[in-house]
Structure 1
Amino acid sequence: MKIKSSFGPSYKEFEIGEIVFLAQEKPLKLISGAEIENFPLAYQTYGKLNADKSNAVLICHALTGDQYVASTNPVTKKEGWWNWMVGDGKIIDTKKFFVIATNILGGCMGSFGPKAIDEKTGEPYGINFPVITIQDMVRAQNLLLEHLGIKKLHAVIGGSTGGMQALAWATLFPHKVKLVIPLATSYRHSPQNIAFHEVGRQAIMADPNWCNSKYPLQKKFPASGLALARMTAHITYLSEAALQKKFGRDLKNSNSPVANQLSEKSEPLIYKGSSSLKMVRNGDLRQSPNRFSFSFDREFQVENYLHHQGSSFVERFDPNSYLYITRAVDYFDLESDCGKNLSDAFVEFAKNKEGKFCLISFSDDWLFPPSEAKKLTHALVACGINVSSVTIKSNAGHDSFLIENEALKNTISGFIGCS
């Protein structure tokens, strides 16, 4: 089934891929206690399911990702976010595997989320949508697998928030998955990461165009708040080394390729001197004794880059979904869920004779550092699980799992192909 949806400042309409309505006979009870039924879950598939339905691989997307892993995104028109990883003859080979990717519960690319219409009011749910968790997302994915007739996954794989979903699969449905491959993630969200998320949420809710979550009814959109939330978050996705290498302290108007790529179409006028108030173009600053504009316009390339990330994000994501998904990530804590002994979370998975783990971390990821994967590895080993743990040397920070990397490709290829 295919439907149309819309969001963004222009409320431009786009067509979503496959959608199935789940929990039609029995409601899905959320951890919050709320129940949802007959709700949509959007998904994409790649490859063919074999006769015994044993070749299914579930790919879980990150915080603001989507189901378009290896196909064109209908909103951005860009190729899939893991196009180099998934496809015919690629690492996750669609000639061999049947790949499933869902838009998570709470998302804004077709799945049930806060922009869905509440049948009782005829209006978008907004903040009346039930609060969700990572575990709720996974339970919804399990309903999809039941709908498709898949009893056991060959593998579940995901990075960041997607990695949390992969971990939740091992704890909630330990006998329904063979290989678990979490990348750049953790068994819990740290206090520092929760703090960054809260800044983003407050930026959205402080925007007067948020309208207490009812902006669609007012034909408004909290673009400034959402852009600021994205700018703040994006800092955590990079590393100091990556920022230094890509931007350094270069000015926005330098002749570097990055500056030229991100520069605005128009060059704003600035003041040169304080007495004569003589006006010059930004381009003339390189000939002036002082390189700076002495204003609060974007001065450095890194500032321009963050603004670019923010402005492009508002065209493809829903602010209320951002509130709900970040809160779901904040609630994730497998250690506390099982009474402070992390190993207890995986006791049932240890009974899965086919069950194996491959944990992948990145050397300069400070959002989910390798030390988090190390503790998780120890917990898995303590309960007798077959686990491989790899830290890949990188210089792109947390986003390394999204960037084509031979070491990453070799690691996943070697593990997902094992029987």
Structure 2
Amino acid sequence: MSLNNPTRSKQNNHTISIGPFTFESGETLDDVQLAYERFGPDDAPVVLVCHALTGNQYAIGSDQEPGWWAGLIGQDQPVDTSRYQVITFNVLGGCHGSTGPASCPKGSKRAYRLDFPAVTIRDMVHAQYRALIKLGIHQVHAVAGGSLGGMQTLEWGLLYPLFMKQLYVLAATPYLSDYGIAFNHIGTRAIKDDPAWQQGDYSSNHHLQGFELARMAGMVTYRSGTLFQKRFDRSKSEPLSYNIQSYLDYQGEKIKDRFDANSYLYLLEAMNHHDIGRGRDGWKKACKQYQAKVNTISFQHDLLYPKELIDAFSNEVPGSEHFHVETDYGHDGFLVEFNHWGEWIQRKINKGG
């Protein structure tokens, strides 16, 4: 039994070409690459993990730079990489090694930018399926993801219903609400109305103040008012500057170091159009098409993906189970406090349902 670095001793990153790929729009790119992280025994059951909006393939990461789900996945963690092989792809349209707006077509030194085809959640899933088949993987034990990753997980269960045994959908709903679309629109306008954006042909992320504002608006929806009050409590670092303001400024600056603004726009648009009922006679009828066991998790104070809508979805899916997490973190609850909900996943994933 060989191992794909299950102990996180160093970063485990790979890239695979899936060749020509045709998007839902009908446009085709000649050569699409997907970057991915892979840990665990080569012959172990596969758990496919899907990342959120500004996430990447480093769900586990390294000892020096732990990934965004390092508290959930790893040796002796709820998803144990001595027992499971875990694969995470950077999404199609992303900016951490997969083909996206910041990538250059083969033989060109100029990035696609806005010439990149519109990408949908279903495009992301189809691309990952192609990559898994190329890796020799024809079935997985489970697919899991939160937020944008949860949207992908929902589509995985409908596009390839027999490809997995289990689905874990965290902080995601069968379609994006008008409230979610509204905040995405604010972020989109902030970026596009920035003169430095230059119709997508900007020279550097670091010139984009609109990108900072987009991230700040997003951060307000990812956390709860309760958490902000407990953490900051109107505290000040200077007489006229509140710490909550400094925190948002920091988050706005930080996003420019690790994410491409055009990719951000493309993924926001993909989220806006997420609807499992599209072309399937509505989301309630789509719910009856799941063959894998569906498990959903909601988080208290999640403004974007409320418990009520996740509950409604879960109730329509035969055999689905739902778990609600009491937390002050709101939507970002799926990235923290793994001790509050990781055991629930561990019990279910290990018993096969």
Give me the TM-score of the superposition, normalised by structure 1.
Answer: 0.78
| Distance of aligned partners of 1:47 and 1:319 in 2 relative to their CA distance in 1, 3 Å threshold | same
Alpha-carbon deviation of 1:369? Answer: 0.6
| Distance of aligned partners of 1:131 and 1:120 in 2 relative to their CA distance in 1, 3 Å threshold | farther
In the alignment, is residue 31 of structure 1 matched against residue 16 of structure 2?
A: no
Indicate if the aligned counterparts of 2:290 and 2:317 stay in contact, CA closer than 8 A. no
CA distance in 2, matches of 1:87, 1:345: 33
Structure 2 counterparts to residues 163-312 of structure 1, below 5 A: 163-216=150-203, 221-253=206-238, 282=239, 293=240, 299-312=241-254
CA distance in 1, matches of 2:342, 2:79: 9
When structure 1 is superposed on structure 2, of 358-367 and 176-185 the one drifting more is: 358-367
CA distance in 1, matches of 2:273, 2:206: 27
Query: Which secondary structure does the structure 1 equivalent of 2:302 belong to?
Result: coil
CA distance in 1, matches of 2:52, 2:321: 22
Q: Which residue of 2 aligns with 1:112?
A: 99
Q: Which residue of 1 aligns with 2:344?
A: 411
**C-alpha deviations, 1:121-175, integer Å up to 9, x for none?**
6411111100000110011110111011111110000001100000000010001
CA distance in 2, matches of 1:405, 1:208: 41
In the alignment, is residue 20 of structure 1 matched against residue 13 of structure 2?
A: no
Alpha-carbon deviation of 1:363? Answer: 1.8
CA distance in 2, matches of 1:88, 1:313: 30
Q: Which residue of 2 aligns with 1:286?
A: none
Q: Percent identity?
A: 35
Q: Which residue of 2 aligns with 1:41?
A: 34
CA distance in 1, matches of 2:160, 2:287: 10
CA distance in 1, matches of 2:214, 2:62: 25
CA distance in 1, matches of 2:40, 2:87: 9
**C-alpha deviations, 1:41-68, integer Å up to 9, x for none?**
0001011221xxx600001000000011
CA distance in 1, matches of 2:338, 2:75: 18
Runs of 4+, deviation exceeding 4 Å: none
CA distance in 1, matches of 2:162, 2:205: 46
Alpha-carbon deviation of 1:220? Answer: 6.7
Q: Which residue of 2 aligns with 1:337?
A: 279
User: 389, 394, 398: which one pairs with 2:327?
Assistant: 394
Q: Which residue of 1 aligns with 2:3?
A: none
Q: Which residue of 2 aligns with 1:356?
A: 293
CA distance in 1, matches of 2:12, 2:95: 10
Alpha-carbon deviation of 1:100? Answer: 0.1
User: 50, 55, 61: which one pairs with 1:71?
Assistant: 61
CA distance in 2, matches of 1:122, 1:405: 43
Alpha-carbon deviation of 1:16? Answer: 9.1
CA distance in 1, matches of 2:81, 2:108: 43
Query: Which secondary structure does the structure 1 equivalent of 2:173 belong to?
Result: coil
Alpha-carbon deviation of 1:119? Answer: 4.3
Indicate if the aligned counterparts of 2:205 and 2:256 stay in contact, CA closer than 8 A. no
Q: Which residue of 1 aligns with 2:48?
A: 58
Alpha-carbon deviation of 1:221? Answer: 4.2
User: 143, 147, 171: which one pairs with 1:156?
Assistant: 143
Q: Which residue of 1 aligns with 2:7?
A: none
Indicate if the aligned counterparts of 1:208 and 1:222 stay in contact, CA closer than 8 A. no
CA distance in 1, matches of 2:129, 2:332: 27
- Alpha-carbon RMSD across the aligned residues, in angstroms, is 1.8
CA distance in 2, matches of 1:37, 1:118: 9
**C-alpha deviations, 1:5-32, integer Å up to 9, x for none?**
xxxxxxxxxx99311111x2xx322111
Q: Which residue of 1 aligns with 2:80?
A: 93
- Which residue identity is paired with 1:344? K
Indicate if the aligned counterparts of 1:134 and 1:332 stay in contact, CA closer than 8 A. yes
CA distance in 2, matches of 1:85, 1:242: 22
Indicate if the aligned counterparts of 1:16 and 1:42 stay in contact, CA closer than 8 A. no
Query: Which secondary structure does the structure 2 equivalent of 1:58 belong to?
Result: strand
Alpha-carbon deviation of 1:343? Answer: 3.3
Q: Which residue of 2 aligns with 1:373?
A: 310
**C-alpha deviations, 1:183-240, integer Å up to 9, x for none?**
0111111111111111111111222221211124xx5744311111110101000111
